[in-house]
């Protein structure tokens, strides 16, 4: 039986493309204070073929396409900034 593993990718820009195993299930987006970086975590099959997936970070008032998938919002540690994350439809 295959075992799934949780992997993390750093989201460095307003739009970031990452190479993930096909079928990766997004679990969470967040900000790691120690790394000073946004990240996305997914449950993956490490043996699966790879595919490129694109993610977008928006501030409040930013525009997302209706076909994009909302993943979650992150309140920054300072309490003033909030960012909203979407997976961009292929």
Q: Is 6 exposed, middle or buried (0-12, 13-18, 19+ CB in 10 A)?
A: exposed
Specify the pLDDT at position 6: 97
Indicate if the pLDDT at residue 17 is higher than 70: yes
pLDDT in tens, 64-83: 999 999 999 999 988 889 99
Q: Is 29 exposed, middle or buried (0-12, 13-18, 19+ CB in 10 A)?
A: buried
Give the max Cα distance, the chain. Answer: 46
Specify the pLDDT at position 65: 94
Specify the pLDDT at position 31: 94
pLDDT in tens, 39-50: 999 999 999 999
């Amino acid at each position: 039986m295959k075992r799934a593993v949780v992997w993390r990718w750093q989201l460095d820009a307003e739009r970031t493309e990452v190479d993930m195993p096909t079928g990766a299930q997004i679990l969470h987006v967040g900000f790691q204070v120690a790394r000073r970086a946004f990240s996305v975590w997914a449950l993956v099959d490490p043996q699966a073929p790879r595919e490129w997936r694109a993610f977008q970070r928006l501030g409040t008032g930013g525009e997302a396409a209706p076909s994009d998938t909302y993943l979650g919002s992150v309140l920054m540690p300072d309490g003033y900034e909030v960012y909203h994350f979407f997976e961009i439809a292929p």
